Amino acid sequence: MLVLAAAGALAGCGQKTAADGPGAGAAPAMPVQVKIAQAVKISQTTEYLSILKSRHSAAINPQVEGQITKIFVKSGDRVSAGTPLLQIDPLKQEATVNSQEATRAAQEANRRLAQVSLERAKKLFAAGVISKQELDNAQSNFDATDAQVKALEEQVKQQKVELHYYMVSAPMGGIVGDIPVRMGDRVTVSTLLTTVNEPGALEAYVYVPADRARELRLGLPVRLLDENGDGVANTRITFISPQVETDTQTILAKATVENPQAKLRIAQQMRAEVTWGTHEGPVVPVLAVNRINGQFFVFLAVSDGKGTVARQKKLTLGDTLGNNYVVLDGLKPGDHLIISGTQFLQDGFPVAEQIQKSDAGSETGTGKDPAAR
């Protein structure tokens, strides 16, 4: 009797448990935020170091050697074309010009004497007093003397022109740069005296590795970045060098940079981001990615026929795009990506999806939506 009573009690408990509903002993589904992976436009970019140079800049070097005696301007002065900048000691050249002038004057006196002798010889020859040979000698003497005078005149002009080089002037209007020389310094034709830069448009000199020569073309977008990575100017490649720099094995590419407010400086170094092209592909938030043994994984919400569970998925990632990773392999548009609570999940753990609102602000689904599986 006691045995029968115990069996009846156990059967009653079993019926009560079954009445509670199927799966009452299974783990409860964990609510998670889910984002449906979408294909977005991804720019393929590379950063290089660039140097800004003026499109209208002149390096001033002397055309003669000598000692600087005067400096008429200072760095930062705005000058016009022809404005005197520096004076190189002209005393030696002035003495050369004076010597040439004296030689020319003496030769002119010889030419006048030769001309008088020629006129006399012509009259005597006409009167039959002298021979034709004597007349020819007088004519030859005058021609030689006249040629010497003309040669000396050209030498004097040359020396006077060279005398002008001792006064260094601005070749164009602009702003005077640094003046590294001082009064009393001796300079040669290779000495940099200063620079004159015309404010306005600049050019970004970007040196691209030669192995990307096939991808380099005119019109490629270039974005200049400051030290914080913020965009400063947008431009495009306007020049590509036909040859490779032998020392660095790079190709020079230039991009015109408008600088209306003169915020950018000549010789300033900046990061240049070259955009090679765009393609569509999925991205994942950085915080949704787990790294295990050097490999990257995410959790996807998938249906296994009985319900929705979390499945771990290995990804191949590219560069970062804002707060997201570019996915090269392992994720396709339409996958349900779990973006919250991933640290508590395991492969096969039941989850309840809460679809995150799209970028447009409209809700793509909830845990009860059929689209949420």
- Residue 191 counted as domain residue: yes
Same domain, 264 and 294: no
Same domain, 73 and 188: yes
CATH number where 312 lies: 2.40.420.20
> What distances in angstroms separate CA 144 from CA 106, 111, 125, 149, one per listed residue?
14, 9, 21, 9
pLDDT of 293-342, one tens digit each? Answer: 889 999 999 988 788 999 999 999 887 877 888 898 889 888 999 998 88
- State the residue range of the domain holding 171: 62-88+166-196
- Residue 182 counted as domain residue: yes
Q: Is pLDDT at 207 greater than 60 in this prediction?
A: yes
- Residue 11 counted as domain residue: no
Q: What is residue 241's DSSP assignment?
A: -
Same domain, 287 and 366: yes
Phi-psi region of 294 (alpha: psi -120 to 50; beta: other; left: phi over 0): left
pLDDT of 243-263, one tens digit each? Answer: 999 888 999 999 999 887 778
Residue 10's pLDDT band, with cuts at 50, 70 and 90, is very low
Q: Is pLDDT at 19 greater than 50 in this prediction?
A: no
- From 279, 295, 322, give the residue that closes a domain: 279
- Residue 330 counted as domain residue: yes
pLDDT of 77-121, one tens digit each? Answer: 999 999 999 999 999 999 999 999 999 999 999 999 999 999 999
Question: Which pLDDT value is given to residue 358?
Answer: 57
- Residue 13 counted as domain residue: no
Q: Which of 258, 268, 260, 270 is nearest to 55 (CA)?
A: 258
| Cα-trace Rg, the chain | 45
CATH number where 127 lies: 1.10.287
Q: What percent of the chain has pLDDT over 90?
A: 52
- Residue 21 counted as domain residue: no
Q: Do residues 32 and 310 touch, judged by C-beta distance below 8 A?
A: yes
- From 239, 255, 279, give the residue that closes a domain: 279
Same domain, 83 and 72: yes
Same domain, 180 and 73: yes
Question: Which pLDDT value is given to residue 26?
Answer: 58
CATH number where 220 lies: 2.40.30.170
Expressed in percent and rounded to 5, the helix, strand and coil fractions of the chain are 25, 40, 35
| Structure-token pair, residue 311 | 């499945």
Question: Which pLDDT value is given to residue 229?
Answer: 80
Q: What is residue 127's DSSP assignment?
A: T
Amino acid at 265: R
Q: Is pLDDT at 5 greater than 90 in this prediction?
A: no
As a whole number of angstroms, the distance between CA 147 and CA 153 comes to: 10
Same domain, 82 and 173: yes
As a whole number of angstroms, the distance between CA 12 and CA 109 comes to: 149
Same domain, 113 and 156: yes
Tell me which residue has tokens 């000692």: 67
Q: What is residue 230's DSSP assignment?
A: -
* Total of domains in the chain: 4
- Residue 362 counted as domain residue: yes
Question: Which pLDDT value is given to residue 3?
Answer: 44
Same domain, 76 and 189: yes
- From 279, 294, 324, give the residue that closes a domain: 279
Q: Give the relative orientation of helices 132-164 and 91-126 as an angle to the nearest 10 degrees.
A: 160
> What distances in angstroms separate CA 203 from CA 50, 224, 234, 238, one per listed residue?
10, 11, 12, 9
Of the two residues 371 and 147, the one the predictor is more confident about is 147
At 79, give phi and psi (nearest 5°). -125, 160
- Residue 5 counted as domain residue: no
Same domain, 179 and 72: yes
Q: Do residues 65 and 279 touch, judged by C-beta distance below 8 A?
A: no
- Cα–Cα–Cα angle for 214, 215, 216, nearest 5°? 95
| Average pLDDT score over the chain | 85
Same domain, 78 and 187: yes
Burial bucket for residue 308 (CB in 10 Å: 0-12, 13-18, 19+): buried
Same domain, 351 and 250: no
Q: Do residues 298 and 315 touch, judged by C-beta distance below 8 A?
A: yes
pLDDT of 361-372, one tens digit each? Answer: 333 333 333 333
Q: Mean per-residue pLDDT for 33-55? A: 88
Residue 17's pLDDT band, with cuts at 50, 70 and 90, is very low
Torsion angle, alpha carbons of 324, 330, 333, 336, to 10: -80
Question: Which pLDDT value is given to residue 362?
Answer: 36
As a whole number of angstroms, the distance between CA 155 and CA 102 comes to: 12
Same domain, 75 and 171: yes
